[in-house]
Amino acid sequence: MFSGRMERILLGTAIPPILGGLLYCVLMLLTSFKVGSIVLIPFIILGFIVLAGIPSLLYSLLMEFAIQKINNDKLVICISIVLSGFIGRVLGEIYWDPSIMSLIGGLIGLMVGYYLRWHIRGKPANKLFKRDK
């Protein structure tokens, strides 16, 4: 449907806010579970999409046009973790606890960076981290 580049940009923009909302909901349910909290989950995810949509788009464009040219897979995924953690930290300063949000951002950066790098390389996931040349 889309070219490889456009598909990666769309995935890199859409996946982080949804994953962030889900991780936030899991943390919320683990720390302060109330039966009524479950009703809020779709609204929390929608809020993450609205608040983190533009930073995710910027992250995705930066990763696609600048960072993905680097041949070292481990370095690219580390940069993805740092960028997502930074975005989480900034959003945390504005809206919630910065340390929790940077942790959520780092986890999202690991998952999304790994998936998109695997998508670019076309390697099986278990061979992505074999010795870089």
For residues 108 and 104, what is the distance between their CA atoms, to the nearest angstrom? 6
Cβ atoms < 10 Å from Cβ of 78: 14
Q: What is the C-alpha separation between 56 and 133, in angstroms, rounded? A: 30
Domain range for 34 is 4-127
CB 56 within 8 A of CB 65: no
Mean pLDDT score of the chain:
78
Residue 132, in any domain of the structure: no
Task: Please tell me the distance from the alpha carbon of residue 92 to that of residue 24, in angstroms, as a whole number.
Answer: 12
C-alpha–C-alpha distance, residues 43 and 107, integer Å: 22
Distance CA 51, CA 27 (A): 18
Range in 10-19, 28-37, 91-100, 118-127 with the lowest mean pLDDT: 118-127
pLDDT tens-digit series, residues 58-70: 888 888 887 777 8
Number of domains in the chain: 1
pLDDT at position 35? 63
106 belongs to a structural domain: yes
- Residues near 57 by beta carbon (within 8 Å), at least 6 away in sequence: 9, 13
Residue 94 domain-assigned?
A: yes
Residue 132 has pLDDT above 70, yes or no: no
Flag whether 133 is in a domain: no
d(CA 55, CA 41) in angstroms, rounded, equals: 21
pLDDT over 70 percentage in the chain: 83
132, two tokens: 């870089």
Residue 32 has pLDDT above 80, yes or no: no
Residue 75: φ, ψ to 5°: -65, -40
> Each residue of 82-108: pLDDT tens digit?
888 888 888 777 767 777 788 888 888
